[in-house]
Structure 1
Amino acid sequence: MILPSASPIGWLLALAAALAYAAPALAAARLREGWARRALRLAWVLHAGALGWGLWGEAPRFGFAPALSMTAWLALTVYAIERQQFPQLRARWALALLAALALLLAQVFPGQPLHATASAWLPLHLALGIACYGLFAIAVVHAWLMTRAERRIRSGQDPDSGMPLLTLERLTFRFVAAGFVLLTATLLAGMLFGEQLYGRAWRWEHKTVFSLLSWLTFAVLLLGRARFGWRGRSAVRVLYAGAALLLLAYVGSRFVLEVILHRGV
């Protein structure tokens, strides 16, 4: 099989951004804070350029890998804003490496061409979905930081989380709640305006089923948190389960269509 590939300009932007992400991440211990921030800002701008070229360049495309790349960019954006208020957060290099990998993956699998006849509301629907992915991604990052810190405390070590556990927990569930609102809006838009967005009415397919299952999982998590005070490892496991179902909904179904079945939408 010959895979579709991104344009030379897209590759150039992606390679430059991936290098700007990966080089300081791999040399973080020997890098001054000021240089680290500059490198991340440059990578963020180049990443945005690669995304923009993929969506509005000479051959606009979108698919599972560009969705992952955009999710990584949004997660880094939220993290950078949050770090202004909580400079103790310590996950930027892990996020930078993931963003570099997602960028390169999006060049290998750039997705299917976007049709000029698509609804003008489709970009808004996609933006809602990707924003939802980004918020849940950053919630998972916070949950991972919280779990790691809790594990270190239980073993009598320095938690090394950079901030109190309760603060991490509050932030995690705030992102879950915000992501749940956007996920609800995305599903409602698909149900009510599916024909206008995609030229066909709402259908029960893999993407729909996994999306609804993830919505139910997050609803149970938020209800359990509000009514029964769910916290700790049990709550984190439910969060991971909901995030996995959401990942399977669009990214998983598109991966199967694009890579395994070699089909479009």
Structure 2
Amino acid sequence: MLSMPYSAASTSLSAWALALAAALAYAIPALASQRIRETVARLSLRVAWALHGLALAWGLLAQEPHFGFAPALSITAWLVLTVYVVEQQLYPQLRSRWPLSLLGSIAVLLTVLFPGKPLHVDASPWLPLHLALGIASYGLFAAAVVHAALMNRAERNMRQGGDHDSGLPLLTLERLTFRFVSAGFAVLTATLAAGWLFGEQLYGKAWVWNHKSVFSLLSWITFAVLLFGRKRFGWRGQSAVRVLYAGALLLLLAYVGSRFVIEVLLGRGA
């Protein structure tokens, strides 16, 4: 039976207001993209992105900051949308607003429903940096997955004789995908190295072989194989994208999956 130990009741009214405002702003380009002008859709997405950022800051910088699977997903979604907002300035024809708006709307609401566990003030001062590295790797790999999905759609449309409607040239999409993979791999490596070397200072205990560490290492190995295969054997196309998806799924299970089980299915905050 599902439970909500850190439920919406413990979330402040201001946090709810920011989250609902962001979700509504996201819903405009997500649900009415065909009935509103392009300028209105872009403005709504930028307003939603800004409100989403304020909601995240409110939750993380509050008097008793919380963190868990939902805030991790929300920050990841916000980072992906940040990449999209920047890229749309360079490529105004980029078309992935509808799914990203829906993702942002769901993520920002999940955070107020499941705010996570309190971050204790007596924790290591290095813990925020460790968490930031981990979330940055999530955001970079999520951006890689989004670009890979756009690349798949473009390739499929080209094979079927349709229009290439992703907004970016196919080779540009592929190049960006693997740049995000490379950057994410570097940050993930730093995250795992910090956990391995400074686990006792960060969490009060040395490295522990649990679901989180096992899935993290499996994802690291998967991405290492992907980058080696691309450099050594020229992997590309569907085969490379499948390996990317597998690594991203393993990484998602590492923290978000384990915290979801602990916080929601088992109803524990620790």
- C-alpha distance in 1 between matches for 2:60 and 2:257: 20
- C-alpha distance in 1 between matches for 2:26 and 2:207: 40
AA aligned opposite 2:214: V
Q: For residue 17 of structure 2, what is the aligned residue in structure 1? A: 12
- Asked whether 1:100 is paired with 2:121, we answer no
More deviation, 84-93/190-199: 84-93
Q: For residue 239 of structure 1, what is the aligned residue in structure 2? A: 244
Q: For residue 123 of structure 1, what is the aligned residue in structure 2? A: 128
Percent sequence identity is: 71
Q: CA deviation at 1:93?
A: 2.4
Q: Return the match for 1:166 from 162, 171, 175.
A: 171
Q: For residue 32 of structure 1, what is the aligned residue in structure 2? A: 37
Q: For residue 155 of structure 2, what is the aligned residue in structure 1? A: 150
- C-alpha distance in 2 between matches for 1:76 and 1:63: 20
**Does the 8 Å contact 1:21/1:40 carry over to 2?**
yes
Please list every run of at least 4 consecutive aligned residues from structure 1 whose deviation after the TM superposition is greater than 6 angstroms: none
- Asked whether 1:249 is paired with 2:257, we answer no
Q: CA deviation at 1:2?
A: 5.0
- C-alpha distance in 1 between matches for 2:38 and 2:93: 13
Q: For residue 191 of structure 1, what is the aligned residue in structure 2? A: 196
AA aligned opposite 1:166: L
Q: TM-score w.r.t. structure 2 length?
A: 0.95
AA aligned opposite 2:246: A
- C-alpha distance in 2 between matches for 1:74 and 1:145: 17
- C-alpha distance in 1 between matches for 2:204 and 2:245: 33
Q: For residue 262 of structure 1, what is the aligned residue in structure 2? A: 267
Q: Which runs of 5+ in 1 are unaligned?
A: none
More deviation, 3-12/104-113: 3-12
AA aligned opposite 1:16: A
- C-alpha distance in 2 between matches for 1:85 and 1:160: 16
- Asked whether 1:212 is paired with 2:217, we answer yes
- C-alpha distance in 2 between matches for 1:261 and 1:133: 24
AA aligned opposite 2:101: A
Describe the superposition over 1:152-199 as per-residue Cα deviations: whole angstroms up to 9, x where unpaired. 111121122222211111110010001000000100011111111111
AA aligned opposite 1:119: S
Q: Return the match for 2:61 from 48, 56, 60.
A: 56
Aligned residue pairs total 265
- C-alpha distance in 2 between matches for 1:196 and 1:2: 30
**Does the 8 Å contact 2:4/2:267 carry over to 1?**
no
- Asked whether 1:66 is paired with 2:71, we answer yes
- C-alpha distance in 2 between matches for 1:79 and 1:191: 33
- C-alpha distance in 2 between matches for 1:233 and 1:43: 33
> Considering only aligned residues, what root-mean-square deviation do their CA atoms show, in Å?
1.2
**Does the 8 Å contact 2:70/2:111 carry over to 1?**
yes
- C-alpha distance in 2 between matches for 1:2 and 1:21: 25
Q: CA deviation at 1:30?
A: 2.2
Q: Which runs of 5+ in 2 are unaligned?
A: none
Describe the superposition over 1:190-238 as per-residue Cα deviations: whole angstroms up to 9, x where unpaired. 1111111111111111000000000000000000000100000000000
**Does the 8 Å contact 1:14/1:47 carry over to 2?**
yes
- C-alpha distance in 1 between matches for 2:15 and 2:64: 10
**Does the 8 Å contact 1:76/1:92 carry over to 2?**
no
Find the residue that maps to 2:134 and give its secondary structure.
helix
More deviation, 3-12/122-131: 3-12
Find the residue that maps to 2:124 and give its secondary structure.
coil
**Does the 8 Å contact 2:4/2:263 carry over to 1?**
no
